[in-house]
Structure 1
């Protein structure tokens, strides 16, 4: 089954319950599960827990005229900044500083992310944030890794994320979600667990994208953002537990998220305005499940809702636009399953991409 179909199925099941990661674990069989369990225990011993806290990055960043933008940060240890030594090194702080530099307005960060959080914790985190910020301008979410490592049912994870996005959107806030990172890039995790974690995390990321876009938010694929750098310079990109990013790693994640946050806010900057997709960069318009399947293949890829011919939905679901805002090599414009832009009048829309999204 292609990743687009799996993402669509997981997101659809989220509305009704059932299915998900538990079924995938059961399919391994008793022997396979025993191997995976042993490898997971070994990974935990290797990774260890040399620290259990993150810097407090709540506060105002930048300076200038006008009321501060209100940035709310939700999620797990990656959103909390576990592994960073200083508040200014977290993703929230870096994004806030970037927005302030582009606008000349201060940005106030309210971070309610919690180390070890799962998607089921997001609604409570948002409620806590709203005690201090009545109307956030943008809500930044980073979540998913613990849902995978704790073997949480993917449909349940996606349902909690979608509810949180819908609530934030109902308040008028823009929402940007950094989807589940590719856990197959974590060095202390050995095979065959590494390959299985990669598939689970990528499938969850694709399903998260479907749910978030359906709810009116936009996603940025974090995927294997730190993978190549980990192999080349693990002491720089990862913190001392070899699992969480270092300050340099968080800066790289923030660089991938910042353009999408700016686009959501309508802030001027290089490649930060909503624009027509460019096929030479592998961008296009198509059903959201197709865009989700494509996005997990390249970190930094944004997927956001769009319309085709004035309609938000087509025969295969919600229309979405896939953009690669991060500077990268020019992608091949081969058969991605996504059109370069809205189909012309009378066309049948993007081709069925299910055959091109399997992995």
Structure 2
């Protein structure tokens, strides 16, 4: 294999990407890569800013069941993508969209709990699962991983924290569907080469999450594989901050998750 060395003006970016993929040289070049990535990460955070808003409050009851039917308890855990930061109204959030679909297809009332928190990492799921397990849970939807990537949490540690959460939920009999780490390479305010590196880290974490979830009896949905290209090419899928999804972006995410949730709850999904 021939590796082409870029022109001097591009060498720093080349080194950064090579280092992130495990191909960087030792000493000064590795230090240069780290410094460059750290600088570009700061610029990305400055461009995106710190969220000052909260996701719309979507917890509550959805739909109407038959008399005597037990409501379905749906829990949503994870980070801002699970909470719906970027939505304008509760009904646009992932929890509300999933709850509404379950109520419609099962003809049962759905009681929705949303314990997802903006900025949460996989380690924070332990607190969230303790909250939802104060009552029986029938189904849980988890979206997490982006903040593990941005804070450089080791992949093995993040996957282990997620596995622990899935195990706790499955032990109660709950259906668990996890949307794995999205493709952070589709976030336009993140400059190159950090965007390429973020995409690589995202894929690594998503792969580890998939194995962890399946081993614990959950269902993993690869949001990066299913939606990464759409989010990269369609600006209207992003909210004004260009980091969190727009209402339409969340609808695409729920469209990816929903078949697995409904099928796990016993709804027959037509084969197209």
TM-score by length of 2: 0.86
Contact 1:83 1:245 in 2 (8 A): yes
CA separation in 1, counterparts of 2:156 and 2:228? 27
1:75-98 deviations in Å (ceiling 9; x for gaps)? 000001100111111111101111
**Alpha-carbon deviations, 1:244-271, whole Å to 9, x = none?**
0011000000011000001111113324
1:69 aligns with one of 72, 93, 112 = 72
Residue in structure 2 matching 1:86, options 89, 92, 105:
89
The separation in 2 between residues aligned to 1:233 and 1:211, in whole angstroms, is 31
Q: 1:210 to 1:104 in 2, by over 3 A?
A: same
Report the secondary structure of 1:223's partner residue.
Answer: helix
- Alpha carbons of structure 1 residues 148 and 232: separation in structure 2 relative to 1, 3 Å: closer
- Equivalent residue runs for 1:128-207 within 5 Å: 128-131=131-134, 134-207=135-208
Change in Cα spacing, 1:50 to 1:212, as seen in structure 2 (3 Å) is: closer
Residue by residue, what CA displacement relative to the aligned partner does 1:14-73 show, whole Å, maximum 9, x if unpaired?
Answer: xxxxxxxxx969975101111111111111121123533111110111223122111111
RMSD: 1.9
Mapped partners of 2:218, 2:51: distance in 1:
35
Distance 2:132 2:92 in 1: 21
Report the Cα offset of residue 100 of structure 1: 1.3
- Counterpart CA distance in 1 for 2:105 and 2:59 is 20
Q: What secondary structure, in the 3-state scheme, does the structure 1 residue paired with 2:52 have?
A: coil
Paired residues of 1:120 and 1:160 also in contact (CA < 8 A): yes
Contact 1:74 1:111 in 2 (8 A): yes
Q: Which residue of 2 aligns with 1:211?
A: 212
The 2-side partners of 1:225 and 1:210 are apart by 17
Matched position secondary structure for 2:224: coil
Which residues of structure 2 form unaligned runs of 5+? 1-18, 25-29
How far apart are the structure 1 equivalents of 2:179 and 2:232? 22
Measured in 1, the distance between the counterparts of 2:89 and 2:156 equals 35
Indicate how the Cα distance of structure 1 residues 61 and 115 shifts in structure 2: closer, same or farther if over 3 A, else same: same
- Structure 1 CA distance for aligned equivalents of residues 51 and 77 of structure 2: 23
**Does structure 2 conserve the Cα–Cα contact (< 8 Å) formed by 1:145 and 1:183?**
yes
Does structure 1 residue 240 correspond to structure 2 residue 240? yes
SS of the residue corresponding to residue 256 of structure 1 reads helix
Partner in structure 1 of residue 264 of structure 2: 264
8 Å CA contact 1:226, 1:249 repeated in 2: no
Mapping of residues 48-127 of structure 1, within 5 Å: 48-49=49-50, 51-65=52-66, 66-127=69-130
Cα distance in 2, alignment partners of residues 119 and 58 from structure 1 = 22
For the residue of structure 1 that corresponds to 2:177, the secondary structure is strand
Distance in 2, Cα, partners of 1:58 & 1:219: 24
**Number of equivalences:** 247
CA distance 1:25–1:41, change in 2 (3 Å): farther
Alpha-carbon distance change, 228 to 204 in structure 1, aligned in 2, over 3 angstroms: closer
Q: Does the 8 Å CA contact 1:185/1:226 hold for their aligned counterparts?
A: no
Give 1 or 2: higher helix fraction: 2
